[in-house]
């Protein structure tokens, strides 16, 4: 059921909601207290729906259906995970050994149209990355960009990468594209935890629970989770973590089963979700035991 949002409702921001990644303007304040709106993707809507009755339901935002705004744009309404925190610190970790779908790679390969936006994204990170020809054309093939991007960060070797961190009222940190080595990632995690052992332990407990719940989840068994994140949130009193962003989560094709813990080879559909989760757990344990 679609509900209209009046412009005045949209202006009445209760608390400053923080969006770490993703396109600007794709999120709004929800109709209901403690809810937010995210621009509709059919894939994400489908995941949110079935996750509400899966064993993972306590690890995902509550889902409240579809909402239409005054301009007719459709949104999913979901729980604002920041709502119960006071001046929260937030970290978005993208989980998995790759962040593109195999179908995106197939599509990019059959349809090789080099793109200027990808060239610009590449040089924003590393001016020396494009080849001479790419510099001349100011265009990059999507497959080339996707594979290059993944090799820069810790996604391939650790099965996760930090996308962004916001420490309470501090500025937002997003310069993680080239953080690849385990020790460097650990340092960033330490900064985020800000020397709180109890906070690190709360996160660790929650990740253990998440791992064991994943193993018995029907949803987890039957889907590949690509580009999905863990959203870490804490304030002075508590710390917790949730799964978000199911825009690229897909039901596995017929006859394909994945372990979520093997490295990816083409056509295997392995996502490496548990590789990332296990590495996060190990790093947290190391930080706690230091």
Binding residue for Mg ion, selected from 245, 269, 270, 277, defined by CB under 5 A: 245
Of the listed pieces 68-76, 165-173, 242-250, 263-271, which binds Mg ion according to CB under 5 A?
242-250
What residues have CB less than 8 Å from 22, skipping those under 6 apart? 245
- Closest approach, Cβ 189 to ligand ATP, in A, equals 16
**How far is Cα 162 from Cα 280, in angstroms, rounded to an integer?**
11
Residue ranges of alpha helices (H) inside 80-239 are 102-110, 116-125, 132-137, 142-152, 155-158, 182-193, 197-216, 218-222
Told to check if 229 binds ligand ATP by CB under 6 A, we report yes
What residues have CB less than 8 Å from 161, skipping those under 6 apart? 93, 94, 153, 154, 155, 176, 179, 185
Beta-carbon-side half-sphere exposure of residue 190 (alpha carbons within 13 Å) = 13
How is residue 49 written in tokens?
């729906």
Told to check if 230 binds ligand ATP by CB under 6 A, we report no
DSSP letters for 45-105 = HHHHHHHTTSTTGGGS--EEEEEE-TT--EEEEEE-TTTT-SS-EEEEEEESS-SS-HHHH
**CB contact at 8 A, 172 and 166:** yes
Told to check if 21 binds ligand ATP by CB under 6 A, we report yes
- Closest approach, Cβ 21 to ligand ATP, in A, equals 4
**283: three-class secondary structure by DSSP:** helix
Told to check if 114 binds Mg ion by CB under 5 A, we report no
Told to check if 92 binds ligand ATP by CB under 6 A, we report yes
Residue number with the smallest Cβ distance to ligand ATP:
22
Binding residue for ligand ATP, selected from 37, 51, 76, 78, defined by CB under 6 A: 78
Q: Which residues pair with 166 in a beta bridge?
A: 90, 172
26 versus 285: smaller Cβ distance to ligand ATP = 26
Site string for Mg ion, 212-231 (x = CB under 5 A): -----------------x--
21 versus 256: smaller Cβ distance to ligand ATP = 21
Told to check if 19 binds ligand ATP by CB under 6 A, we report yes
CA angle 242, 249, 192 (to 5 degrees): 30
Q: Please state whether beta strands 74-79 and 223-225 pair in parallel, antiparallel, or not at all (unpaired).
A: unpaired
- Closest approach, Cβ 242 to ligand ATP, in A, equals 7
- Closest approach, Cβ 195 to Mg ion, in A, equals 28
Told to check if 22 binds ligand ATP by CB under 6 A, we report yes
- Closest approach, Cβ 230 to ligand ATP, in A, equals 10
Question: Which entry of Mg ion, ligand ATP, none binds 56, CB below 5 to 8 A by partner kind?
Answer: none
Told to check if 65 binds ligand ATP by CB under 6 A, we report no
- Closest approach, Cβ 20 to ligand ATP, in A, equals 3
Applying CB under 5 A, which residues contact Mg ion? Answer: 229, 245, 247
Which spans of this chain sit near ligand ATP (rule: CB under 6 A)? 18-23, 26, 36, 61, 78-82, 90, 92, 227, 229, 231, 244-245, 247
């Amino acid at each position: 059921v679609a509900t209209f949002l009046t412009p005045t409702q949209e202006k009445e921001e209760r608390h400053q909601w923080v969006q770490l990644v993703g396109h600007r303007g794709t999120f709004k304040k929800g109709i209901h207290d403690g809810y937010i709106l995210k621009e509709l993707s059919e894939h994400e809507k489908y995941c949110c729906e079935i996750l509400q009755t899966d064993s993972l339901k306590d690890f995902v935002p509550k889902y409240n259906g579809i909402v239409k705004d005054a301009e007719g744009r459709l949104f999913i309404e979901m729980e604002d995970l920041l709502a119960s925190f006071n001046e929260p610190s937030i970290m978005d970790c993208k989980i998995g050994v790759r962040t593109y779908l195999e179908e995106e790679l197939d599509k990019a390969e059959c349809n090789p149209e080099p793109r200027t936006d990808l060239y610009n994204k590449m040089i924003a990170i590393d001016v020396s990355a494009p080849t001479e020809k790419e510099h001349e054309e100011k265009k990059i093939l999507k497959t080339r960009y996707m594979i290059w991007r993944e090799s820069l960060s810790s996604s391939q070797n650790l099965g996760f990468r930090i996308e962004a961190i916001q420490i309470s009222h501090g500025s937002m940190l997003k310069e993680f594209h080239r953080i690849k080595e385990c020790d460097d990632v650990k340092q960033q995690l330490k900064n985020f935890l800000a020397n709180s052992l109890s906070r690190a332990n709360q996160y660790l407990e929650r990740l253990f629970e998440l791992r064991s719940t994943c193993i018995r989840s029907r949803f987890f068994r039957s889907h590949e989770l690509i580009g999905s994140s863990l959203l870490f949130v804490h304030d002075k009193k508590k710390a917790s973590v949730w799964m978000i962003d199911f825009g690229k989560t897909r039901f596995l094709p017929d006859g394909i089963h994945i372990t979520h813990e093997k490295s990816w080879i083409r056509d295997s559909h392995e996502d490496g979700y548990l590789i990332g989760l296990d590495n996060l757990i190990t790093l947290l344990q190391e930080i706690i035991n230091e």
